[in-house]
Amino acid sequence: MFAASVPPETAIRQARTTDEFAAVAAVQNTAYGQAGPADQHDVDRLVDTVAAGGTVVMATRSGQCVGAGMHTRPVDGISEIAAISVEVAHRRQGIAAAIGSELSRSVFAAAATPFIQAEGVAEQGLYQRLGYRSIGAIHIASDRRLPSLPIQTPRATLVPRGSDGVPLFDLVLDEQVIGDCGTVGLPDATGVVEIRFGLAEPNRGRGLGAEMVSSLAGWLLWQPAVTAVVAESSGSNTAAREALLRAGFVQQYAEDDTRPAGSGDQNPVRYALTAADVAARAASRPDHAPPRQVGDERTTLLNFIGYLRSAIIGKTGDLDEQQTTRPGVASGTSLLGLVKHVAAVESMWLHHVFGGLDPDLLFDDSLQPEDTIESVSALAAAVAATSDRIAREAPGMDTRAAVMPFGPPRPTLRWVLVHLVEELARHAGQADIIREQLDGTVGR
């Protein structure tokens, strides 16, 4: 590891006070495309980082913060260095290198190994000069292609904003930004990515935090590079912990304590969510009413498609593998077979016909001996992720499909989505009947 010298008239030190955290957040926000003073949830995010065992560093000149960076709490012997930012007027003067060097030293002092996920050539060159070496690449959707993410509350949505390659979203309600969320860096080598979120005080206590986290985590778990989403909060932040639990996250234990995480304010509370957790939650969810969100045509159709997917997967809840593969009718249709079939139909129409996916990449909808409730549910979730992205990135509902499946004219996105509602609704009714035949459980 090579230590970078501190530029003249520059001081590098840890941020410790509320005012210092606010100055750091302002520099980072500007670097990531959100100019203006930091608000309270920006400060809380940095306070939580330090409370959890991480470090926030600031570079000052003449008493003013001109650069900043942070590293996460060391877990399993490693810590991520992230969010290194320098004001435009002070760049190319060695400040970023000095911040990176100080953060690296801090991680080594904690008996851990620092790692950095650098995207651009300039970033890679900077860290190579500090002694870092490349051990692989991680890919995630660029912020330039990030979709807006729906939440349940009417007139509210998660809108992407510039993030220098790291997914960040503003929570917009009635055209006003009332919160934000995003990842702390990119996924690690095992596919685990950490998220953070914040909500303006007047809008807390309404369930918006849980909806925001659920939407963000669901989208992340649809990305090929992500295997799990984790979040940490100080033990006293009850609202954040409740939001994570309502979003389906599972509370874990502190790394260095035998007590449950969060049993004391000094212990960070750590939560995790995997694709398997999401599938299990969907499978255990009882029949529920159709979505009542107010949205445009595309959002309404996608919400109903998601509702019907969930209803079909939910029919496998509380059943064993043998029950889900038992034919309910003479044709051989089973519950798990329906889950895989509707995923295949969705893939064919949205991925191939509308999106132009090579038909050789489509999968067979017939059940295989190795198929399980978990594996088929995870497949359905992955298909749903791609479907949602394709549908939301299309220019409009009148956009024509890439493939002409049954002669001219090529179907529009509107036709494809309506057809999928019809297709899934038909099979949801079949799933109702098969489940009632199995154990008497009656659907809606």
Determine the pLDDT at residue 143.
38
Res 37 pLDDT > 90: no
CA angle, 89 as apex, 86 and 95 as ends, to 5°?
Answer: 40
Looking at residues 146-166, what average pLDDT do you find?
Answer: 72
> How many Cβ atoms sit within 10 Å of the Cβ of residue 97?
21
Give the pLDDT confidence score for residue 412 in this predicted structure. Answer: 94
CA angle 183, 58, 112 (to 5 degrees): 60
In which band, very low, low, confident or very high, does the pLDDT at 163 lie, cut at 50, 70 and 90?
low
pLDDT of residue 259: 43
The model's confidence at residue 426, banded by pLDDT at 50, 70 and 90, is very high
At residue 144, the pLDDT reads: 41
For the cut 50, the answer to whether the pLDDT of residue 53 exceeds it is yes
Residues 6+ apart with CB under 8 A from 281: 248
- The predicted model gives 14-24 an average pLDDT of 91
Confidence class of residue 107 from pLDDT cuts 50, 70 and 90?
confident
- pLDDT at residue 393, rounded to an integer: 84
SS3 call for 269:
strand
Backbone phi, psi, residue 233, to 5°: -150, 155
User: What are the backbone angles phi and psi of residue 176, rounded to the nearest 5°?
Assistant: -120, 135
Instruction: Determine the average pLDDT of the residues in 325-336.
Output: 88
With cut-offs at 50, 70 and 90, classify the pLDDT of residue 413: very high
pLDDT at residue 135 in the model: 55
Mean of pLDDT values over 358-383: 84
Q: Please state which of the ranges 8-17, 242-251, 332-341 shows the lowest mean pLDDT.
A: 242-251
Is 70 exceeded by the pLDDT of residue 235? no
**Closest C-alpha to 371, from 341, 329, 330, 349:** 341
In 152-191, DSSP assigns E strands to 156-160, 168-173, 176-183
User: Which range among 55-69, 181-195, 300-314 has the greatest average pLDDT?
Assistant: 55-69
* Interatomic CA distance for residues 26 and 35, integer angstroms: 7
The whole-angstrom separation of Cα 105 and Cα 6 is 14
Q: Which two tokens stand for residue 440?
A: 């008497």
Q: What is the mean pLDDT of the chain?
A: 80
If you average pLDDT over residues 161-171, what whole number do you get?
74
Burial of 333 (0-12, 13-18, 19+ CB in 10 A): middle
d(CA 42, CA 18): 11
CA separation (Å) from 84 to 31, 92, 118, 164?
Answer: 9, 13, 11, 11
Determine the Cα–Cα distance for residues 182 and 171; give it in Å rounded to an integer.
11
* pLDDT band at residue 28 under the 50/70/90 scheme: confident
Q: Is the peptide bond before 290 cis (omega within 30 degrees of 0)?
A: no
CA nearest neighbour of 273 among 237, 254, 307, 245 = 245
Longest dimension (CA), the chain: 82
Cα(6)–Cα(94) distance, integer angstroms = 7
> Which class for 111: exposed (0-12), middle (13-18), buried (19 or more C-beta within 10 A)?
exposed
Compute the distance between CA of residue 271 and CA of residue 233 in angstroms, rounded to an integer: 9
- In the predicted model, what is the mean pLDDT of residues 27-44? 74
pLDDT tier at 292 (50, 70, 90 boundaries)?
Answer: low
Average of pLDDT values for 431-441? 86
Kindly list the structural domains of the chain, giving each domain's residue range(s) and its CATH number in brackets, ordered by start: 11-129 (3.40.630.30), 145-280 (3.40.630.30), 297-439 (1.20.120.450)
Of 12-21, 42-51, 144-153, 304-313, minimum mean pLDDT range: 144-153
Query: Mean per-residue pLDDT for 143-155?
Result: 65
CB 240 within 8 A of CB 229: no
Which pLDDT belongs to residue 286? Answer: 54
Amino acid 76: pLDDT: 65
Give yes or no for a contact between 47 and 62, defined as CB atoms under 8 angstroms apart: no
- Residue 18: is its pLDDT beyond 60? yes
**Counting Cβ atoms within 10 Å, is residue 246 exposed (0-12), middle (13-18) or buried (19+)?**
middle
Are 37 and 57 in contact by the 8 Å Cβ rule? The answer is no
Does the structure show a pLDDT above 90 at 58?
A: yes
Q: Is 328 helix (H, G, I), strand (E, B) or coil?
A: coil
Tell me what pLDDT residue 342 has: 93
